[in-house]
Structure 1
Amino acid sequence: MSNLAQERKYKKIITALSIIIPLAVAALFGVNLKKLGFNVEPLTFLPPIYASVNGLTALVLVAAVIAIKKGNRKLHEQLNTFAIFCSLAFLLMYIAYHMTSDSTKFGGEGVIRYVYYFILITHIILSVVVIPFVLTTYMRAKLGDFPNHKKIAKKTFPLWLYVAVTGVVVYIMISPYYV
């Protein structure tokens, strides 16, 4: 199969995942198994774990950039693959937490409340926006299209890093209000 044919195939998958993932998260976010009558324990231990995974993702992304700047393509690829795995692990834990626990309300007042919601809203929006960027960047590398990989990676990296870092910030800001 030619690179062009492979790219077309992958673009269809990327488009589907870029739509399905946010819709599934939104749908599952509204499902609380306890309220539906299931006898499940709230997974209240997960937020600090998935916040830590976000922090790890940020560190891995920075390490991946350092690796490629030093010419270590193999390490760069491994680190980015691991960052994708971390993001997926975060997503699964986030969904599991929200399906078994009541959402926590932010209790801060005044200016800090606006700061929190600004960070939260931009984090959520960019976490959706970054999905096709990450997948396309990864696909371009896998297909050996390094000029286009590099071009989109320059956009993907800051978006993905912002999402990872703000995930930690949101957790730190809301953690005093967890029950």
Structure 2
Amino acid sequence: MENQNLETKYNKWIVTLSIVIPLVVALLFGVNLRKLGFDVQPLSFLPPIYATVNGITAIILILAVRAIKNGKVKLHENLMKTAIACSVAFLVMYVAYHMTSDSTKFGGEGVIKYVYYFILVTHIILSIIIIPLVLITYVRALAEVFDKHKKIARITFPIWLYVAVTGVVVYLMISPYYVY
């Protein structure tokens, strides 16, 4: 019963964060401090850093799954907390970059343009969907409802891994078009 109360307690936070985070990111994405007259330097050094953080997140997720499959619960827990921290760090850097720099347009043509936009659109949609999934999965582990945790983790893991990997792919595809 106490575990269900913990889940119920956090459900409001999960719903709130799942709505607020994408809305705030979308709003801030459209705010360019330099165009608003603020004297800030463009943070053009951030894209390779946050792409690397995405890559590290993908590796951590794979290591976390291996850890739990090998019965290393504490290692799994620590890796998952690190993956969440990496995702938050990515988000902060991503927003900071877009608030201080002009958006970069993809310059590829032909089929590669469609491949890029397919990857980008699926990455964006799934990055929104992954927020509640990660939060629910994490709360179920906190509540020690491991049967439910395991069920949703099987859905959360591949989506989160896809978002992390495609974050790197999107960066690699658009990086030749960055103006530094």
State whether structure 2 residue 65 is matched by structure 1 residue 55: no
The one-letter code matched in structure 2 to 1:163 is: V
SS of the counterpart of 2:104?
coil
2:46, 2:97 within 8 Å by CA — same for their partners in 1? yes
1:161 partner letter: L
Give the deviation of 1:2 after TM superposition.
2.0
Q: 1:90-140, CA deviations, whole angstroms, 9 ceiling, x for partnerless residues?
A: 000000000000000000000000000000000000000000000000000
Q: CA offsets, 1:119-177, max 9 Å, x none?
A: 00000000000000000000000110000000000000000000000000000000000
Distance 2:145 2:3 in 1: 9
Q: TM-score, normalised by structure 2?
A: 0.98
1:97 and 1:152 map into 2 onto residues whose CA distance is 32
Deviations 1:33-91 (A, max 9, x none): 00000000000000000000000000000000000010000000000000000000000
In the TM superposition, residue 7 of structure 1 has moved relative to its aligned partner by 1.1
Structure 1: any 5+ residue segments left out of the alignment? Answer: none
Give the equivalent residue in structure 2 for 1:64.
64
Identity of matched residues, %: 71
Write the letter of the residue equivalent to 2:160: W
User: Are 1:85 and 2:85 matched, yes or no?
Assistant: yes
Aligned residue number for residue 95 of structure 1:
95
Distance in 1 between residues matched to 2:64 and 2:41, nearest whole Å: 38
Q: Distance in 1 between matches of 2:77 and 2:35?
A: 43
TM-score (ref. length: structure 1): 0.99
The 2-side partners of 1:11 and 1:168 are apart by 31
Q: Identify the residue that residue 116 of structure 1 maps to in structure 2.
A: 116
Q: List, as ranges, runs of 4+ consecutive aligned residues in structure 1 with deviation greater than 3 Å.
A: none
- Structure-2 residue corresponding to 1:140: 140
The answer on 1:2 being equivalent to 2:8 is no
Distance 1:64 1:119 in 2: 25
- Aligned alpha-carbon RMSD (Å): 0.7
Q: 2:21 corresponds to which residue?
A: 21
**Structure 2 residue 172 is the aligned partner of structure 1 residue 172:** yes
Cα distance in structure 1, aligned partners of 2:169 and 2:126: 15
Aligned residue pairs total 179
Query: Gaps spanning 5+ residues in structure 2: where?
Result: none
C-alpha displacement at 1:9, in angstroms?
1.2
> Partners of 2:104 and 2:8 in 1: how far apart?
42
Query: C-alpha distance in 1, partners of 2:71/2:177?
Result: 45
Distance (whole Å) between structure 2 residues aligned to residue 126 and residue 34 of structure 1: 30
Equivalent-residue separation in structure 1 for 2:173 and 2:106 (angstroms): 8
